Amino acid sequence: MYKHTLRDWFFNDVAQTSDSPLALQITHASGVFLYSDDKSYIDCISGISVSNLGHSNPRITEAVKKQVDQHMHLMVYGEMIQSTQVQLAHLLSQQLPEKLQSVYFVNSGSEAIEGAMKLAKRATGRYRFVSQHLAYHGSTQGALSLMSDAYFSNAFRPLIPGVSFMHQNDISEINTLITTETAAVFLEPVMGEKGYEPCDINYLKAVRKRCDETGTLLVFDEIQTGYGRTGSLFAFQVLEVVPDILVLAKGFGGGMPLGAFIASKELMSVLTDRPVLGHITTFGGHPVSCAASLEALKILTETGILNTIASKEALFRSLLVHPLIKSITGTGLMLSLVFDDEVFCRKVIDGCVRDGLLIDWFLFAANRIRLAPPLIIEEPEIRKVCGIIIENISKAMQPL
């Protein structure tokens, strides 16, 4: 009798997002490594900037186990005082400026974007938005409306109307696109799926100034940059620009599903009436997810791990030198290796995966390699990663 395997069930019973998933069967994970039955992989994408403190982090794992023993879901969001949720919101508020003191917990980045969009519309009475060309904010219909790339959005129209797109670091567009009819501007301080392209500080300051002039809310999507990825707890903290709304997810959950949009107490209060329950979620701020996030935040603020990011970035840059690497963009431990050709880039990625290094490309930059390892990666692993990449660049240059 034919015996079905997990791989068969994966393809037959799990809804697929593409016709070519990685389909690696991982049995366990620890630190910067993923393990199958017969092979190990150095994880250099962290589940797309999720596992910032590594896999099976003992402190986070213990916090999750402790919370599971106490309780899991109790009641729809906002009705019960739940210890891990409240402690997380309080510790977060201590790390953030005065205008970012009210935390609304959700389950994911897309949901956090949706909440920020609703908050901006409710607070301003406006419905128009400005996003960046080649930004990615999620795949729900509101978040998808903020995406300029028609390839991903055309099949799902009609989307939310009134969205305009400005090009990153182009100050000349700001006054035209941001007007007194704009509810909010959504920006990624480091654009993710464009290939880890940081925003220029002067550009961000000009956007902030124009938002102040027009009564427009400025939203920073720190879903990928948050929780230490760039070397500071949040990317905006070194950019001299403070948003009106901060959006978090991915690494924020410490490996568990969690998102949040954060604003001032005054701003967030508009969701409490006209109508009551202006925004609501059943599982948002799940106590187990909050326990993981709280412990991750304690690790990031109590240890010196953030102080190691710059030197690790510098080591990557010093070792990843090859004539076919045109440049390295990004900051901290979100780096992008730029090649001329996406077909060549794909060959390098495939070779690296075969050699036990998990790397990836970008939605809007298929000619680039994504490097976003757990922040806990150490020098020996960095040297091994860079050696595998350089070796596979050389292999990819050889004729078939």
Instruction: For residue range 318-355, list pLDDT tens digits in order.
Output: 999 999 999 999 999 999 999 999 999 999 999 999 99
Region 343-370: mean pLDDT is 97
What the chain holds in terms of domains, given with CATH numbers, is 7-56+304-397 (3.90.1150.10), 58-302 (3.40.640.10)
The tens digit of pLDDT for each residue in 116-134 reads: 999 999 999 999 999 999 9
pLDDT, residue 280, reads: 94
The tens digit of pLDDT for each residue in 31-54 reads: 999 999 889 999 999 999 999 999
Nearest Cα neighbor of 55 from 386, 373, 385 is: 373
Q: Say how far apart CA 82 and CA 8 lie, in whole Å.
A: 41
Q: Say how far apart CA 285 and CA 279 lie, in whole Å.
A: 13
Indicate the burial class of 123 (C-beta count within 10 angstroms; 0-12, 13-18, 19 or more). Answer: buried
Q: Is the dihedral of CA 182, 187, 192, 196 positive or negative?
A: positive
Angle ∠(334,335,336) on CA atoms, nearest 5: 135
Per-residue pLDDT band at 3 (split at 50, 70, 90): low
Instruction: Indicate if the pLDDT at residue 85 is higher than 70.
Output: yes
pLDDT, residue 17, reads: 87
List residues bridging with 370 in a β-sheet. Answer: 336, 360
Region 186-202: mean pLDDT is 98
Q: Say how far apart CA 221 and CA 149 lie, in whole Å.
A: 18
DSSP per residue, 159-210:
--S-EEEE-TT-GGGHHHHS-TTEEEEEE-SEETTTTSEEPPHHHHHHHHHH
Per-residue pLDDT band at 23 (split at 50, 70, 90): confident
The tens digit of pLDDT for each residue in 152-161 reads: 899 999 999 9
Rg (CA), the chain: 21
pLDDT, residue 400, reads: 58
Nearest Cα neighbor of 101 from 260, 296, 218, 256 is: 260
pLDDT, residue 390, reads: 98
Per-residue pLDDT band at 22 (split at 50, 70, 90): confident
Region 175-183: mean pLDDT is 98
DSSP per residue, 71-95:
-S--SSTTSS--HHHHHHHHHHHHH
Number of C-beta neighbours around residue 258 at 10 A: 29
**Whole-structure pTM value:** 0.96
Instruction: Indicate if the pLDDT at residue 1 is higher than 50.
Output: no
Instruction: Indicate if the pLDDT at residue 363 is higher than 60.
Output: yes
Q: Is the dihedral of CA 4, 6, 11, 14 positive or negative?
A: positive
Mean pLDDT (the chain, rounded)? 96
pLDDT, residue 397, reads: 87
Contact 222, 248 (CB under 8 A): yes
The tens digit of pLDDT for each residue in 267-325 reads: 999 999 999 999 999 999 999 999 999 999 999 999 999 999 999 999 999 999 999 99
